[in-house]
Structure 1
């Protein structure tokens, strides 16, 4: 299997070069490529790699029985496996699948103070009581959240380099339309990305086979694995209720307003019975939550209704895999992505925004006469982002960006659709596939 280039690769190199680096915890949903990237980095940068997987090697959980001092841990590790070599300054200790042994986080302070060996921890967020881990290692760890592959990483996997991405970015900042061939090729690549998503195993299979053969089966297995993990790790919650929420995400995305309503997922379901279920799925890295703003103004945090939200899959390929076979056939064969009422486009845009570090917010007033898919911000203003599955006029975006004083925090907007780059004095138009560059564009 081809080793895919990932953005964490650069992050790990910078971490290694930092004089004051701390033990690192790489967080993320299962199967997003954490272990593969860390192991490749480890073997490229250290003479000795001590890789402990608490799922496959449960015997190593005992290394903390005598305490969390470094010498005690090293002594117990070498007692279990005498071949392990620890050389100061040249050794990385990698604790993988830490959700099976969260106590390993308690040793991070000791490793940081000791300073002889570097440490990376990783594991599925589903099984990690992260609040407990934070309290055990506050001030002595560094966090990195890893997602499935974004569109830029997908372009790398398809053979496109950094210079090509910079070319696209320059087109955006100079508001220069792409050529016809650029539009055609990139739209095709983006359709592929929407269909298969960014799970590394699926991307690898797609690129290796140069077709969709086997990808749907693998995606559906990942969905089943997530359901199995819900059953395994959702401690303290009604696992049936969590699974009920998870199973209904695509149902609500298929409706016109896409708002998720607990009262509609089961007969007699009440919000108070489902407290914490959505948050658990979010914290486990399975879904993205988009909250409704209380009003169209800054700030974003603190200006939203926590009881009004839309739910999206973290990976759009998994959303596609969750649909009925007729919808998938329409997308894969007919390349028709508008039949699912814009859900696919909204989901992929939301995911691309999250992968750039944004939280998700939308707006809809009580009468549904004014609504907007997403809002982001720069240092000075609020920016409405409209996702158009069709090329119809953007009446509501025009209303929000009218400069008539009704929305003083808004200076301009962004429309994402199947159209070329442009600006009409009120909002920028970008093709969907450029969404991954929005944060850079907004900052500039």
Structure 2
């Protein structure tokens, strides 16, 4: 079993005796939602009942009428002979609920009843974001599950480490990370870039150590995602959402990584494509990073909603979209050109987003000043500049002149260092800053 951090969140929810909510587990397809809930249910409960509405479409009828818990329990027992509902010892798992809105509504009644724990899960739950219905407000706790993060990837490869504890002594840049540790973490990071965090892909890499087999599987998953777009996107968004999705590698290979509609389609406008990007975001396929017009806390107060960057939900899938030859170049550290900066920027975005960070950047108009990410820490701003290769940090240096900014990070492949307010850290340190 791949060790996943979300398991601990599920366990804390189970052990909260005063809980008054069910879990709604959201996430992009194939990130491991079904697997982790199944393992959780079998390990932590005496009785685990799973209803998958794709495998058992007939079970939709259970939720089509009276949502009284006793009524639903009796109908489930009739449809699934042998299952038991024992108060306090049963987890009911409603999987693939995206097309069964009444199943989501039922979470309110399972919660109010309180005898049985309930987890619901589904992909593309936010796809029809304008017409969501039957949401049991106050009775569901939404958890977002993503593909494996960098630390989980290291765990999967057999290294039981705690990155925060291990790297904490070096995060201020004053001490160098021991070379053996530094080299090992850089190697893991290089592998993570091309493999990513989709559980099936990670398992394939562990089993074969064959990057080509990994690539073939990633290509299949990318086709599956495009099929999902064709199947689930609103009619007016089907083609446009796919165009936006496929444009991401080109967007990140430009000198300016701001999302430009003209890259999707010549003379395209925001009016034509905004809803398609929103659909991709609600489906969990992309993350947004917004430009801010002023580097002051709080960043939300300074967002430019019409200026943003788009990152794919998984760094390995992004690299796969560029083709297998690019993977060879990355693994041999031979990649040059503008695509390199976008890939390394996407790597840091992947690590930060999977930590739950909201992504912001600062690009000053009519100026070359540009900071890839700005973090909020203790009501202060921390700028982060990402360097795929050696180079100066003019933008970071300029921002560090501001009195409201106490420190900033330069992330690079090199070891640590510190010059006044500027701290140089290896890229893998994005996992703990």
TM-score range, shorter chain: over 0.9
* 1:389 equivalent in alignment to 2:388: yes
* 1:433 equivalent in alignment to 2:428: yes
Distance in structure 2 (CA, Å) of the matches to 1:133 and 1:83: 35
Equivalences for 1:174-193 in 2 at 5 Å? 175-193=174-192
Distance in structure 1 (CA, Å) of the matches to 2:173 and 2:257: 35
1:411 alignment partner, one of 406, 409, 414: 406
Cα–Cα, structure 1 residues 165 and 208, in superposed 2: closer, same or farther, change >3 Å? Answer: farther
Distance in structure 1 (CA, Å) of the matches to 2:131 and 2:417: 48
Q: 1:338–1:389: 8 Å Cα contact kept in structure 2?
A: no
Q: 1:106–1:133: 8 Å Cα contact kept in structure 2?
A: no
Q: Normalized against structure 2, the TM-score is what?
A: 0.95
Note the C-alpha offset of 1:178.
Answer: 0.9
Cα–Cα, structure 1 residues 38 and 131, in superposed 2: closer, same or farther, change >3 Å? Answer: farther
Distance in structure 1 (CA, Å) of the matches to 2:138 and 2:411: 41
| CA offset digits 1:31-53 (Å, max 9, x no partner) | 11111111101000111111000
| Secondary structure, aligned partner of 2:300 | coil
Distance in structure 2 (CA, Å) of the matches to 1:182 and 1:138: 47
| Secondary structure, aligned partner of 2:368 | coil
Distance in structure 1 (CA, Å) of the matches to 2:302 and 2:144: 25
Which stretch of the first structure deviates more once superposed, 293-302 or 129-138? 129-138
Q: 2:173–2:423: 8 Å Cα contact kept in structure 1?
A: no
Structure 2 unmatched ranges of 5 or more: none
Note the C-alpha offset of 1:392.
Answer: 0.9
Structure 1 unmatched ranges of 5 or more: 439-444
Q: 1:195–1:317: 8 Å Cα contact kept in structure 2?
A: yes
RMSD value, Cα: 1.8
Distance in structure 1 (CA, Å) of the matches to 2:174 and 2:137: 45
State the partner residue of 1:108: 107
Q: 1:291–1:362: 8 Å Cα contact kept in structure 2?
A: yes
| Secondary structure, aligned partner of 1:256 | coil
Distance in structure 1 (CA, Å) of the matches to 2:293 and 2:105: 40
State the partner residue of 2:157: 158
| CA offset digits 1:169-211 (Å, max 9, x no partner) | 2332574211111111111111000111011111111112233
Q: 2:126–2:132: 8 Å Cα contact kept in structure 1?
A: no
Distance in structure 2 (CA, Å) of the matches to 1:293 and 1:430: 24
Distance in structure 2 (CA, Å) of the matches to 1:328 and 1:419: 21
Note the C-alpha offset of 1:28.
Answer: 0.6
State the partner residue of 1:15: 13
Which stretch of the first structure deviates more once superposed, 199-208 or 131-140? 131-140
Distance in structure 1 (CA, Å) of the matches to 2:64 and 2:248: 43
| Secondary structure, aligned partner of 2:138 | coil
May I ask how many residue pairs the two structures share in their alignment?
431
